[in-house]
Amino acid sequence: MASVRSVYVLHGPNLNLLGTRRPEVYGTTTLADLEARCAARAAEHGLEAICRQSNHEGELVDWIHEVGAAARDGRSVGAVVNAGAYTHTSIALHDAVEGSECPVVEVHLSNVHAREPFRHHSFLSPVARGVVVGFGVTGYPLAIDGLVALAGGGPGGPP
């Protein structure tokens, strides 16, 4: 029996507080609810969603390496990554995406470009295949759709 291909959904620091932390910015949807939405969208594409959250940069780096290996051997279409504050600080995550050739769509719940100036720069954007910002939890299913399209499994096909 062939295994189902996956899409990873990786959440960075403080996203475990989704639904309670600054609901006026991040909304009231919990992380569990968001992951259920991602699983449902992945299933629409015949994929399994592998959702993980960590407050630790090194763990996110390890997961990016895992996704890169899975993508290279056809087990995954890549990862939707909301690196939280690490987006703006982590050269290590940039290097992990670049080095592992992990297909990534970067996602942010809020429009980071309309917020504090330090949030305007992303170390992930230059190595991501796409970026979705400002659509709240709707951005995650959009990012999954984008990864599928980039993998040749949806409208638009590979770039």
User: How far apart are alpha carbons 154 and 3 in whole angstroms?
Assistant: 20
Full domain range(s) for residue 123: 6-150
Q: What pTM was computed for the model? A: 0.90
Evaluate whether residue 33 is within a structural domain: yes
Report which of residues 12 and 155 the model is more confident about.
12
Coil, strand or helix at 105: strand
Q: Is residue 71 part of a domain?
A: yes
pLDDT of residue 111: 86
**Residue 13 domain-assigned (yes or no):** yes
In whole angstroms, what is the distance from residue 150 CA to residue 92 CA? 24
Catalytic amino acids? 26, 108
CATH number for the domain spanning 80: value is 3.40.50.9100
Q: What phi-psi label fits residue 157: left (phi over 0), alpha (psi between -120 and 50 degrees) or beta?
A: left
What pLDDT does 154 receive? Answer: 54
Number of domains in the chain: 1
pLDDT tens string 84-104: 999 999 999 999 999 999 999
pLDDT above 90: percentage of residues in the chain: 75
- Residue 2 CA to residue 33 CA, distance in Å, equals 29
Measure the CA–CA gap between 45 and 144, rounded to whole angstroms: 9
pLDDT tens, position by position, 6-63: 999 999 999 999 888 777 766 688 999 999 999 999 999 999 999 999 999 999 999 9
- Give the pLDDT of residue 26: 66
Indicate the pLDDT class of residue 153, thresholds 50, 70 and 90. Answer: low
pLDDT of residue 24: 73
Asked if residue 63 belongs to a domain, the reply is yes
Give yes or no for residue 124 having a pLDDT over 60: yes
For residue 29, tell me if it sits in a domain: yes
Domain membership of residue 156 (yes or no) is no
Query: Is the pLDDT at 4 greater than 80, yes or no?
Result: no
For residue 155, is it within any domain? Answer: no
Tokens of 34: 């968001």
- Residue 3 clears pLDDT 80, i.e. is over it: no
Residue 116 pLDDT exceeds 80: no
